[in-house]
Amino acid sequence: MYRIAADFILVIHSLIVFFIIGGFIVITAGIILRKRFVRRFWFRFIHLLAIIYIIAETWVGRLCPLTGLESFLRRKSGMESYSGTFISHWLGKLIYYDFDLIVFQTAYTAFGILVLLQWIIRPPASPLRRDPGIK
């Protein structure tokens, strides 16, 4: 049961990573192509909060809570590493790297600056005002 829970956490973690990276790509493409969907406030706000959280946790030296929970569940299941199931093996290879902390701090901060630039270049619509042009 712990192994299944750990795999579930890994899938959730991977979806969050893909949301952050994929969201940046989609927003950038929307800005370049002048699409109105990039003005959706809540999508942009959640995307910005996600990267701010990651930057903050990296700079204070905290391990991501999802990584910690997944590791805990894997230890409880008797696993030592990601050599277990297909999901854990391949998704783990996609999102986990063994670099020094400064590499992550620099990369996440640079990425966060790019996300912030998206807000400046093409700010989202106000959440208080309904924009009929946003679909």
- Taking the chain (135 residues) in runs of 10, the rounded mean pLDDT of each run is 90 92 96 92 95 92 86 84 54 70 88 94 84 53
Is there a domain that residue 44 lies in?
Answer: yes
Fill in the amino acid letter for 60. V
Q: pTM for the full model?
A: 0.75
Residue 37 lies in a domain: yes
**Domain containing residue 99:** 2-121
Residue 67 lies in a domain: yes
Distance set, CA 112 to CA 73, 115, 134 (Å):
30, 5, 25
Closest alpha carbon to 67 in 106, 44, 98: 98
Give the pLDDT score at 109. 94
Q: Residue 29: inside a domain, yes or no?
A: yes
Say if 133 falls within a structural domain. Answer: no
Q: Which pLDDT does position 21 carry in this prediction?
A: 93
Calpha distance 107→127 (Å, rounded): 30
Dihedral sign computed on CA atoms, order 72, 58, 62, 12:
negative
CA nearest to 74, candidates 91, 55, 60: 91
Asked if the structure places residue 62 within a domain, the reply is yes
Query: Structurally, how many domains does the chain consist of?
Result: 1
Q: Give the distance from CA 107 to its chain's centroid.
A: 13
Nearest 5°: CA angle at 21, between 95 and 35? 165
Q: What is the pLDDT of residue 134?
A: 53
- Please report whether residue 81 resides in a domain: yes
Helix axes 101-121, 2-32, angle to 10 degrees: 40
Residue 131 resides in a domain: no
> pLDDT value at position 98?
72
